[in-house]
Amino acid sequence: MAARQDLAAEFMQIVDSLTMSVILDRERMRPLSYLTPGKDAPMTDKLPGTQMFQKETLQDVREELGDCRRCSLCEKRKNLVFGEGSDHAEVVFVGEAPGADEDLQGRPFVGRAGQLLTKIIEAMGFSRADVYICNILKCRPPGNRNPLPEEIQLCEPFLVRQLEAIAPKAICALGTFAAHTLLKNDVPITVLRGRFHDYHGIPLMPTYHPAYLLRNPSAKKQVWEDVQQIMKRLDKGADA
């Protein structure tokens, strides 16, 4: 009887693992990659009966993105902004899309809002190099307009893969747009912020965008409370 239960549990594990692979492949637009040889093929030297995959690195993702021309944002961009920071970051900050400064430099969050984000990161006891900073979109929408659904659809799979490669302990979604895109809802940021949400098993804390803080400095207190919760999760003492 016990052996039968073990077998059933093992079978369910395999089903769960395959289901996850299919979901991830769909998001990466690489259907059934686990059936093809190459770096996504099952590693047969691992546990028999479980699907194990060699993990993609950030560099793999960057290479596949290449000189991206998947949507029309490529026509006006000066530089693609992939993201920067540690491959092993404990926390990843996700913003909306590059602005003019980021487009010029090819780096995320380097303008005025970026300088404020850097201060927040340092107040958490990190440097920018310790964490990872990226955006939902990798190219600047003209005039900083809101990203379009088709742009998100084409760009988000690369963000998903970056997050998978890093496997952070926490994600901080900066602003309404990042929170809505990652959590697939449209609940106001005022309601979403202040508590963790689940992002494919990773705790995700939505908070206000640093650009909003530049216009509304009184909201800094709430952002500090939100990032302190992240620090607690990471076991990093928070000296307010």
Binding site residues, ligand URA, CB under 6 A: 95-99, 102, 108-109, 111, 113-114, 135, 211
232 φψ region: left (φ > 0), alpha (ψ -120 to 50), beta (else): alpha
If DSSP codes are grouped into helix, strand and coil, which group holds residue 197? strand
Pairing of β 170-174 and β 132-135: unpaired
Asked if residues 51 and 34 have their Cβ atoms less than 8 Å apart, the reply is yes
Closer residue to ligand URA, CB minimum distance, 146 or 190: 146
Q: Which helix (H) or strand (E) holds 132?
A: strand 132-135
Rounded distance between C-alpha atoms, residue 61 and residue 172, angstroms:
21
Closer residue to ligand URA, CB minimum distance, 141 or 203: 141
Sheet of strand 202-207, all strands in order from the earlier edge strand to the far edge? 84-85, 132-135, 91-95, 170-174, 202-207, 197-199
Report in angstroms how near the CB of residue 28 gets to ligand URA at its nearest: 23
Report in angstroms how near the CB of residue 72 gets to ligand URA at its nearest: 19
Find, among 134, 135, 137, 206, the residue nearest to 170 by Cα. Answer: 206
Report in angstroms how near the CB of residue 211 gets to ligand URA at its nearest: 6
Report in angstroms how near the CB of residue 216 gets to ligand URA at its nearest: 15
Closer residue to ligand URA, CB minimum distance, 24 or 81: 81
Q: Take residue 8 and report the two structure tokens written for it.
A: 């059933």
Report in angstroms how near the CB of residue 225 gets to ligand URA at its nearest: 21
Closer residue to ligand URA, CB minimum distance, 24 or 113: 113
CB atoms within 10 A of CB 207: 28
Asked if residues 151 and 135 have their Cβ atoms less than 8 Å apart, the reply is no
Report in angstroms how near the CB of residue 128 gets to ligand URA at its nearest: 12
Asked if residues 233 and 239 have their Cβ atoms less than 8 Å apart, the reply is no
Closer residue to ligand URA, CB minimum distance, 124 or 174: 174
